[in-house]
Amino acid sequence: MLLAQLKTLFRHSAIYGAADVFGTLVNFLLLPILTRHLTSSDYGTLGLLLLLGVTLKILFRMGLDAGFFRIYYEQQNERDQRVFTTTILATASIIGIGLFVLSAFLAEPISRLLLGSDHGRLIVLVATDTLLMGFAFVPMNLFRIEERAGYFTAATLFRNTLNAGLKVLLVLRGWGVEGVLWSDVLSSALFVLALLPTLWRNLGFGYSARMLGEALGFGLPKVPHGLAYQALNLADRKILDYFTNRAEVGLYHVGYMFGTGIKFFLSAFELAWSPFVYSLLERRDAPQTLARLATYVAAVFAGCGLLIAVLGREILILMTAPPFHAAYPIIPVIVLAYLIQGLFTLTSIGIGISKRAYYYPVLTLSAAFVNISMNLVLIPRLGMMGAAWATVLGYAVMAVLGYLFAHRHYPIPFEWRRIGVIALAGSLAYAVSGAAGEPSLLSVLIKVGALAIYPAALLLLGFFHKNEIERLKALMARAPAPADPSPPPSPDRP
């Protein structure tokens, strides 16, 4: 049973992730072109505009996207589902249009505050893209709720592919940063048009203040949570811009992009994780099942992160113009930060299960406070490396608090000894890769050898239970596997 559940979870993660991986892969393959037509200062500007974009997204939606996803499951019949969908879409549209008008009116002051110059058109373009994508979250969430992962992936692939093509066309024509933003706007507009038939089929007549209240009750606490979370992710760009220069912000932004390659796996998993968890809640052994699944997922995340951390420098050199090669030191640090974020995703799920959404602002505001404080302390001394380590510290605070809050209301017996073995095995492999020296064919071979240490160390350090080793042998031999033990071994039993 556990193996079947694990296959289902990873199959859905793979389907959801295919679109993001493909879109990000396309953008990644465009780096040799874009880094030769955009300067490090241009990338610094894009990093600051990203901070604006994610902030506007949170404000435009006011938690309605999260509220829609969670409360939709509680609607008892198709009519209620249609009224709920209409209520959320209408409310989100009114809020989005109102805030868009306000953003356009204040575009010049926002530009001076964020960029230090009058580039109001860039602010309007970011706000336009945010408004357009506000019409997409309802149909995209419906795809997830109905487990239509293929439709979700196809829609995302369409937007990502279109965006990448427009980006190349406009940047090569000399549009620079504005060309990147126009590609976002145009691809989002066509994306929303493609989703209209799905949206129309799920709308109904009526508007329910009660349903809206339930959605806002769950989603509104996530607004300060989301703002603090993005401060944790992106405030370092503005602080770095203040203490250093726009070019270093650009280097940091590019290195950060490589480090967050681990998000290919995290983002895909997160899309599948919540509906998967909620589908298990009626089972008596749900906590034990979630604990075991979290262990396996953590092992996969760590392996993926190790791959990026070890080979990040070589990939950066291969894929970017020489002025960007100095960004390599922050890649493994950012990988570590996002692995901690992955641990937070796994161990804080009890907050969502118990509907204690009011905890989210507490833990993320705490993490953001630590992150911003450490940015102010470390960036003047260490530059972009200080920003990277401040990100690690912020995520560590969020992971600890998230686990403590979740465990209070929905205890899950996580297998901490095995998770510790994962961390030790990954650390050993990364330490060995440090002997590779400057990039060369020999250094790549040494690093590939270091990567092989990770699974070997898991085996030697007793990560796998006996029945799991037997199951792996059976799978490799294409023979029937032994049944899952019942009850499962205790969390810390080797």
Report, as an integer, the average pLDDT of 52-79.
82
Q: Is the pLDDT of residue 282 over 90?
A: no
Residues for the chain: how many in total?
494
The full DSSP string for 94-158 is HHHHHHHHHHHHTHHHHHHHHHSS--HHHHHHHHHHHHHHTTTHHHHHHHHHTT-HHHHHHHHHH
The token pair that represents 340 in the structure block:
């901690």
Task: Provide the whole-model pTM.
Answer: 0.73
Contact status, residue 262 vs residue 301, Cβ threshold 8 Å:
yes
Look at 135-139, 325-329, 338-342 and tell me which has the smallest mean pLDDT. Answer: 135-139
The reported pLDDT for the residue numbered 479 is 40
Banded pLDDT at 289 (limits 50, 70, 90): confident
The reported pLDDT for the residue numbered 487 is 38
The reported pLDDT for the residue numbered 360 is 80
Banded pLDDT at 344 (limits 50, 70, 90): very high
Give residues with Cβ within 8 angstroms of 105, minimum separation 6: none
User: Which tens digits make up the pLDDT trace of 361-395?
Assistant: 888 889 999 999 999 999 999 999 999 999 999 99
Report, as an integer, the average pLDDT of 327-331.
93
User: Which tens digits make up the pLDDT trace of 216-235?
Assistant: 887 887 788 778 877 877 78
Chain centroid to Cα 29, Å, comes to: 20
More confidently predicted of 222 and 58: 58
Look at 44-48, 221-225, 452-456 and tell me which has the smallest mean pLDDT. Answer: 221-225
Handedness of CA 272, 388, 326, 339 (dihedral sign): negative
CA–CA gap between residue 434 and residue 27 (Å, rounded): 29
Give residues with Cβ within 8 angstroms of 69, minimum separation 6: 141, 144, 145, 274
